[in-house]
């Protein structure tokens, strides 16, 4: 995942659809991105693999992306696709634009948080997400990514070009087109794949089984997970 000093949108972006909320209750929807481990990585070209290169850099200031539609009723959240396509990543530890701050060459896991309004008094873009009753977090292992300032693998470069419907210029080898960085910056018109999550055990909400989690690939059944479908 590309990160820059000025801030770069996630590509592809994460989109979720939620069910099982109380239609009349107010909720915040937020995302944070946390380290997977305490390691720093490097890409080994001759073997096309990521290898551990040492201990992780010092922790960065906590940042939380609060969805701009927050707070909204459960009914509102459940009838729309919730997109995080405006979330930006940066490696500038002095960032004052509210972007998510990450270290390059580290592995990270995005987390989606559903927070009842009455439990969100301490919710802030510059503080850790509050925990406790009325707060539920979701993470998907297939969304783990490694941060870079430039793509390390030509196959990933090719994959992002081939899967983007607005990358025709890159696929036309006979013409001189803009660089990959410009494409990634302008991808906002691309509609990323839909993910659906359902959950239970938020106080005051009837229990439901997990249903239809949509993602980038089809995965086997595991725990309460029924299916994951894709469309990069």
- Taking alpha carbons only, the member of 38, 25, 98, 109 closest to residue 68 is 98
What letters, b where the CB count within 10 A reaches 16 and e where it falls short, cover 21-35? bbeebbbbbbbbbeb
Q: Report the distance separating Cα 151 and Cα 146, nearest Å.
A: 10
Domain-located, residue 179 = no
End-to-end Cα separation, the chain, in angstroms: 15
| Better-scored residue on pLDDT, 198 or 32 | 32
CB–CB of 116/202 below 8 Å? yes
| pLDDT above 70 as % of the chain | 69
Q: What is the mean pLDDT of the chain?
A: 79
Domain-located, residue 65 = yes
Domain-located, residue 25 = yes
Domain-located, residue 76 = yes
The CATH number that applies at residue 88 is 2.60.40.820
Q: Report the distance separating Cα 28 and Cα 114, nearest Å.
A: 6
Domain-located, residue 137 = yes
Domain-located, residue 84 = yes
Domain-located, residue 135 = yes
Burial class (CB in 10 A: 0-12, 13-18, 19+), 105: buried
Rounded to two decimals, the pTM is 0.70
Q: Report the distance separating Cα 138 and Cα 11, nearest Å.
A: 20
> Is residue 81 over pLDDT 50?
yes
Q: Report the distance separating Cα 129 and Cα 127, nearest Å.
A: 6
| Better-scored residue on pLDDT, 154 or 129 | 129
Q: Which domain holds residue 119?
A: 8-168
Total domains present in the chain: 1
Grouping H, G, I as helix, E, B as strand and the rest as coil, residue 75 is helix
Domain-located, residue 164 = yes
């Amino acid at each position: 995942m590309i990160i820059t000093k000025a801030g770069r949108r996630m590509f592809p972006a994460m989109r979720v659809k939620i069910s099982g909320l109380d239609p009349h209750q107010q909720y915040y929807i937020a995302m944070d991105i946390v380290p997977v481990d305490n390691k720093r990585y490097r890409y080994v070209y001759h073997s096309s693999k990521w290898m551990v290169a040492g201990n992780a850099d010092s922790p960065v200031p906590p940042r939380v992306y609060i969805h701009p539609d927050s707070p909204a009723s459960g009914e509102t959240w459940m009838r729309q696709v919730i997109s995080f396509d405006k979330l930006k990543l940066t490696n500038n530890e002095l960032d004052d634009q509210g972007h998510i701050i990450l270290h390059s060459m580290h592995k990270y896991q995005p987390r989606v948080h559903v927070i009842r309004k009455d439990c969100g008094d301490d919710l802030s873009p510059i503080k850790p997400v509050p925990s406790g009753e009325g707060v539920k977090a979701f993470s998907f292992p297939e969304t783990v990514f490694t941060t870079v300032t430039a793509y390390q693998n030509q196959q990933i470069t090719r994959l992002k070009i081939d899967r983007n419907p607005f990358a025709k210029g890159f696929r036309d080898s006979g013409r001189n087109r803009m660089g990959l960085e410009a494409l990634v910056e302008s991808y906002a018109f691309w509609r990323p794949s839909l993910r659906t999550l359902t959950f239970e055990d938020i106080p005051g909400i009837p229990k439901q089984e997990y249903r239809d989690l949509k993602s980038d690939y089809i995965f086997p059944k595991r725990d309460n997970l029924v299916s994951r479908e894709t469309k990069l």
